[in-house]
Amino acid sequence: MNSSPAAGTPRLRSALARADGRRKHVGPPIPLAALARWRGQVYRLLGRALLFPTPQRLERMATAALRQERAGEKFAGLAIYPRWRLLLRTVRLAAGQAGTLQADFSRLFVAGRDGCAPNESYQLALDPAGAAALAAALEREYAGEGVSLDPAAGELPDHVAVEMEFVAFLCDRERAAWRDRREAEGRRLLLRQRQFLREHLGRWVPRFAREVQRADPSGWYGEVVGAAAAFVHHDQDLVDLLLAWTRDPARGGGGGE
């Protein structure tokens, strides 16, 4: 059998040419459900990395990082891919380093003397009334999606880990929506993520990252928070693009805003 593109009927040649053209511009697509799942996992990992580093938590994070790494090179089409791989390596390195990390955590985030408190209200320099209003607004946002902050967690609603866990939760629901082909719900959840990223994480995490990197330029937290800022920035762009992509009627996307 001759497999040369020049061979075969004109129709075959035309089909081969079309396929070649498609291969040129379109790589293997990433299912939206898989993308949402991955994004949720990254947010969850980042959020947990910014909680107090108990040995058990670090161990669980290292396991999660290893699992994510095995997801392979599916996401190499995203520009954040190298930074994500670096993050996974960084997280895996932390297992067994609880003592050092606890000291760093206390210095950076508990004492807060370097301007590194991991809370939105602190980074946006809100006064007590503003901080209270922000906490109330965040709790309303969480409640709007049917979740609430577990008081036993001991964190404020504007803590970086809580906000990231909320986005991870939205990603999980978005994944379920795409998987069940509920496109309108998938788009609604993307819109919620866009709004939350713009109004919260996207506004203060870059500043937070600058402060931590200034105080801990070559340390573990400097790397993690740098990755968090990079991921949040990339994710804002990605969510915008996903909204545009799923709106495109040419590809059957649906669901109005």
Partner 1 sequence: MNPHTARCDGHLPVAVLLCAHLGDANGGLDLRAVREGLETAVPSVHVRLLDDACRQPNRVGAAVRASGAARLVLGLCRRGYAAAELHAELRKAGLDPLGVEVVDLGAYAVRVHSREEATRKARVLLAAAAARARTFAGARPENLKPLLPKAVSRRALLSLSLLEYQAVAAVAVERCHAEDGCRECLGACPYQALSLEDGEIRLDKSRCTSCGSCVTACPHEATDLPGWTAAQVEAYVGALLGAPPAELAPRAVLVVCRHGAAALQALAGTGASYPVQWLPMEVPSLGMVPPAWLLAFLHLGAAGVGVVSCTQGCGATSVTRIEGRVDFCRDVLRHAGGHPERVVLLPEEPSALLRALWTTAVEVLQVPPLVQAPPAATATGDPFAHRSRARVLVALGERLGAPSLAIDHLASPFGLVQVGAGCTLCGGCAAACGPGALRLEGDGEAALTFDPALCTACGRCIAACPEPDTLALHRRTDLPLLSRGREALVRGRYGRCVACGGPIAPQPMLERVARLLAGEPPRTLQVVTRYCSSCRGLAQ
The answer to whether 3 contacts partner 1 (rule: CB under 8 A) is no
Residue-wise burial string across 169-207, b where 16 or more C-beta atoms lie within 10 A, e elsewhere: bbbbbbbbbbeeeebebbbbbbebbbebbeebbbebbbb
Reduced to 3 states (helix: H, G, I; strand: E, B; else coil), residue 52 is coil
Q: What is the DSSP letter of 146?
A: T
Q: Which of 33, 64, 126, 137: binder of partner 1 (CB under 8 A)?
A: 33
Contact between 15 and partner 1 per CB under 8 A: no
Q: Which is nearer to partner 1, 169 or 231 (CB)?
A: 231
- What distance in Å separates the CA atoms of residue 239 and residue 199, rounded to the nearest whole number? 14
Asked whether position 251 contacts partner 1 by CB under 8 A, the answer is yes
Per CB under 8 A, 201 contacts partner 1: no
What is the C-alpha separation between 226 and 204, in angstroms, rounded?
13
Does residue 96 touch partner 1 according to CB under 8 A? no
Give me the least distance between CB of 56 and partner 1, in Å please.
Answer: 31
Query: Judged by CB under 8 A, does residue 245 bind partner 1?
Result: yes
Please report whether residue 185 would count as binding partner 1 according to CB under 8 A. no
Query: If binding is defined by CB under 8 A, does position 128 make contact with partner 1?
Result: no
164 lies in the binding site for partner 1 (CB under 8 A): no
Q: Do residues 177 and 246 make contact, with C-beta atoms less than 8 angstroms apart?
A: no
Residue with smaller CB distance to partner 1, 163 or 174: 174
Q: Which long-range contacts (CB under 8 A, 24 or more apart) does 135-142 make?
A: 138/162, 138/163, 138/200, 141/166, 141/196, 142/166
CB nearer partner 1, residue 23 or residue 70: 23
How far apart are the C-alpha atoms of 137 and 67, rounded to whole Å? 35
In the beta sheet, which residues pair with residue 119? 159
Instruction: Give which of 227, 208, 221 is closest to 101, Cα–Cα.
Output: 221
Contact call for residue 94 and partner 1 (CB under 8 A): no
Which two three-digit tokens encode residue 99?
């003592």
The mark string for 46-85 relative to partner 1 (x by CB under 8 A, - otherwise) is ---------------------------x--xxxxxxxx--
**Count residues contacting partner 1 (CB under 8 A)?**
43
- The site for partner 1 (CB under 8 A) is made up of 21-33, 35, 73, 76-83, 178, 181, 183, 206, 210, 230-231, 233-234, 237-238, 240-242, 244-245, 248, 250-252
